[in-house]
Amino acid sequence: MLLFVGLGNPGAKYAGNRHNVGFMAVEAIAKRHGIAPWRRRFQGVACEGPLGGERVQLLLPGTFMNESGRAVAEATHFYKLALSDVVVFHDELDLPAAKMRVKAGGGIAGHNGLRSITEHIGNDYRRVRIGIGHPGVKELVHGYVLNDFAKSERAWVEALTGAIADNAELLARSEDASFQNKIHLAMDAKGFGGKEPPEAA
């Protein structure tokens, strides 16, 4: 069993926020692979189905971002999962918009959702870091992440979450490098390529 967690805030008022792109990615996976129905579980909503020859539990915590770890810990302990079986999809200010990176462990870069998960289960889970860009000034970050994607951004958001959904079976098989490469090629093909950011340390 694997656990794919999308990070975001519950409720319609947050649904289009940049901070909710993790929710968007996991919802796209569920839709593309016919994984349903969503049920109230693990302090959020969850659904389960086959993906890449593995059973995968998809989870959207309902705890609000800064308490995401409570929901993730409950599901992780219930299934007795290793941290390498937990994949967290989240927004990343330190990556340019429309870029994506996969990594295991590492820093939390001030992300309250990651901070909460690390406090509850440890740090060595896998992360799918979805770049949303940075507003340029630290003081603007809070408003930036809690605002909806601009109309001009929606095309790449849809392209990226769609590419993630299309290739999610590679993640389920722990083929993280292949998954990352496929996303890069898909975004290039859709015209959202451009200069690659340096690899995060």
Whether residue 48 lies inside any domain: the answer is: yes
Catalytic member of 19, 33, 90, 111: 19
User: Is residue 195, in this structure, part of any structural domain at all?
Assistant: no
Determine the pLDDT at residue 199: 42
pLDDT at position 193, please? 72
Is there a domain that residue 36 lies in? Answer: yes
Residue 173 lies in a domain: yes
CATH of the domain at 10: 3.40.50.1470
Asked if the structure places residue 201 within a domain, the reply is no
pLDDT score of 107 = 87
Distance CA 191, CA 118 (A): 35
Interval 145-188: pLDDT, tens: 999 999 999 999 999 999 999 999 999 999 999 999 999 999 99
pLDDT at 185: 96
Number of domains in the chain: 1
**Predicted pLDDT of residue 194:** 58
Is 33 annotated in the active site?
Answer: no
Domain with 19 in it:
2-189
Q: Are 71 and 63 in contact (CB under 8 A)?
A: yes
Flag whether 10 is in a domain.
Answer: yes
Given a cut of 50, the residues of the chain with pLDDT beneath it are 195-201
Q: Is residue 16 part of a domain?
A: yes
Residue 197 lies inside a defined structural domain of this protein: no
